Structure 1
Amino acid sequence: MTFKFKIQKTPGALFWGNVEEMLKENNKSLRSVALYMRDGVNDKKTLALYDKLYRYKREEINPPNVLIDGVLNYLKKFDENLMVSDLYSDWSEYDAKN
């Protein structure tokens, strides 16, 4: 007996996959998100925030609400209609239809 099933992405993988795609579309990086969240101050706290964002992305961990809100607010600069649910949507189904 053979089972065919699709492995579902974790919420963290969905979130970071969509964030990376949106950042790539706008030629931005996680470093620019960290700078935005620290109001443009480039110091040790900004570097620590970048390291935290990078670690969550690399390990595909769902970030805490404070980080989600900061990333969402940064990405709203490029898409004013963006919602949190968009960051957790599975774009592969959408891409397959188009």
Structure 2
Amino acid sequence: MTFKFKIQPTPGSLFWTNVTKMLKENNESLRSVALHMRDGVNDKKTLALYDKLYRYKREAINPPNVLANGVLSYLKKFDEYLMFSDLYAEE
């Protein structure tokens, strides 16, 4: 007897999959998000923020609210009607 079931993606995986897709559609990167969150200042703190975002993305970890809100505010530049729940929506 074999069981077939679909493994549900984690919230972090859903979030980063959708963020990656939206960034790719707009030819942007996580570095752009980090710069936006640091008000355009390109320094060591921006690089540390980028590293943190990249680590969360790579490990598919659900980001803390502060980071998730920063990513959302950046993506709203491209879609003013984007909602927080859209970042966790399944295809």
* TMscore range, shorter length: over 0.9
1:20 counterpart residue number = 20
Any idea what the Cα deviations from partners look like across 1:74-97, whole Å, max 9, x if unmatched?
000000010111000011xxxxxx
Q: How high is the TM-score relative to the length of structure 2?
A: 0.99
The answer for unaligned runs of 5 or more in structure 1 is 92-98
Q: Specify the code of the residue in structure 2 equivalent to 1:35.
A: L
Are residues 1:73 and 2:73 paired? yes
2:31 counterpart residue number = 31
In percent, how many aligned pairs have the same letter? Answer: 82
The answer for unaligned runs of 5 or more in structure 2 is none
Are residues 1:4 and 2:4 paired? yes
2:90 counterpart residue number = 90
1:55, distance to aligned residue in structure 2 (A): 0.1
Give the SS at the match of 1:48.
Answer: helix
1:96 counterpart residue number = none
Q: Supply the RMSD in Å over aligned alpha carbons.
A: 0.4
1:2, distance to aligned residue in structure 2 (A): 1.1
Q: Stretches of 4+ moved more than 2 A in 1?
A: none
1:35, distance to aligned residue in structure 2 (A): 0.1
